[in-house]
Amino acid sequence: MEGELRAGIAGTGFIGSVHARSARLAGARVVAVAASSLQSAERAAAQLGADRALASAEELVTDPDIDVVHVCTPNHLHQPLAEAALAAGKHVVCEKPLALDAAGAAALVGLAGDSGLQAAVPFVYRYYPTAREARERIGAGDAGAVRLLHGTYLQDWLLRPEDDNWRVDAELGGASRAFADIGSHWCDLAQFISGHSITRVSARVVTAVPERVRASGRRAFAGSEPTHGEVRPVTTEDAAVVLFETDAGALGSVIVSQVSAGRKNRLWIEIDGSKEALAFDQENPEELWWGRRESATILRRDPESLSPAAARYATLPPGHPQGYADCFDAFIAEVYDTIRTGSAPEGLPVFADGLRAARITEAVMTSARDQAWVDVVGAPEPEEVAA
């Protein structure tokens, strides 16, 4: 496709604003935005430099002047908006979770495949150069056979009963909250770095704050102010503890929480191979911990010492920190290049990755309910693993 790409953004909260910035940096024009009302879309259009504010997301996804639709709304709208956008011939960048359940995500994968359009999901932690470096070392066999994957994804923005957001409400966010929202990112990154697929899970979940004061219009991560709204029971989980197995014979565990005081966005993954271990920490992403029996080393994000596959995402000199926004920029730039050239780079997260995450989420919630190990639908058969 030639000429300037025209992007439309549905949902202009925390992540919609990030999408708009990255879209512009990648050479697109943000031609329209839609939010929960025309008034909030007008405010957002002014802030984000969009040409037009539209009255609804439904109008945006079929607008003839838009080439690529970014779905950044609350979760319950992802599937219908992405479906309508694909049906209207638009490329789609749809936020996770792709749909409220795995069946919905599978339907979207089918539609996207039939359409020939590009359909991507922002699992953007893949774009940290240090995460890529860990992947390269494991892929090249330097770490040896992967035996254990472990870590956490901890946040604290829903710690208190006064903390609220549309995510808490199962009708808007889905039956799983913490795991679908951030556990999905952890699993995607753990699988991406290790090359393994999660095949079985045994999970427990907890709703640590059983009642919250309703303020569901509050923007994500906005903090809490005193509210005097209705107190409502919470049905979605605040935290999950998950054991898992992979197709290549590794074991793993992850703790996911939105109620861990003092932790803001602590996605931390450690992978133990038979020769060395690697640890990535999203809150300290300029460094990769590299453990061997003789010594442990901190590998810094320095293009001179990174492998080419990681160095291509190091856009600033060492010592000039890169972060989350840079990952988003790199992801959107790859999506737009793919739209322009028709050829996707290896590692671009697409709807099939969103489906994989949705299936793991469903297995986690089923396991927690039935108190049993549950297979992940569609995961590869476990390999014969040498002793």
Binding site for ligand NAD (CB under 6 A): 10-16, 34-36, 40, 57, 72-75, 77, 95-96, 122, 124, 181, 219-220
Q: Which CB sits closer to ligand NAD, 96 or 132?
A: 96
Q: Which CB sits closer to ligand NAD, 16 or 151?
A: 16
Q: Which CB sits closer to ligand NAD, 75 or 130?
A: 75
Phi, psi of 67 (to 5 degrees): -95, -40
Q: Which CB sits closer to ligand NAD, 52 or 300?
A: 52
| DSSP code at position 350 | B
In the complex, the smallest distance separating the C-beta of residue 319 from ligand NAD, rounded to whole angstroms, is 26
Q: Which CB sits closer to ligand NAD, 77 or 215?
A: 77
Angle between helices 14-25 and 324-341 (to 10 degrees): 60
Q: How many residues does the chain have?
A: 387
Q: Which amino acid is it at 337?
A: D
In the complex, the smallest distance separating the C-beta of residue 32 from ligand NAD, rounded to whole angstroms, is 12
As a whole number of angstroms, the distance between CA 174 and CA 90 comes to: 25
In the complex, the smallest distance separating the C-beta of residue 94 from ligand NAD, rounded to whole angstroms, is 9
Q: Which CB sits closer to ligand NAD, 218 or 301?
A: 218
Residue found under tokens 């590299």:
290
In the complex, the smallest distance separating the C-beta of residue 273 from ligand NAD, rounded to whole angstroms, is 27
**Two tokens, residue 7:** 């992007």
In the complex, the smallest distance separating the C-beta of residue 337 from ligand NAD, rounded to whole angstroms, is 19
**Two tokens, residue 189:** 């990154």
What sections of the chain are H helices per DSSP? Answer: 14-25, 38-48, 57-61, 78-87, 102-115, 129-139, 170-173, 178, 184-194, 308-311, 324-341, 351-370
In the complex, the smallest distance separating the C-beta of residue 317 from ligand NAD, rounded to whole angstroms, is 26
**First CA to last CA across the chain, in angstroms?**
51
Q: Which residue is nearest to ligand NAD (CB)?
A: 13
Q: Which CB sits closer to ligand NAD, 99 or 109?
A: 99
What sections of 158-271 are H helices per DSSP? Answer: 170-173, 178, 184-194
**Where is 120: in which H helix or E strand?**
strand 119-120
Burial track 16-37 (b if 16+ CB lie within 10 A, e otherwise) = bbbbbbbbbebebbbbbbbbbe
In the complex, the smallest distance separating the C-beta of residue 58 from ligand NAD, rounded to whole angstroms, is 8
Q: Which CB sits closer to ligand NAD, 77 or 250?
A: 77
In the complex, the smallest distance separating the C-beta of residue 148 from ligand NAD, rounded to whole angstroms, is 26
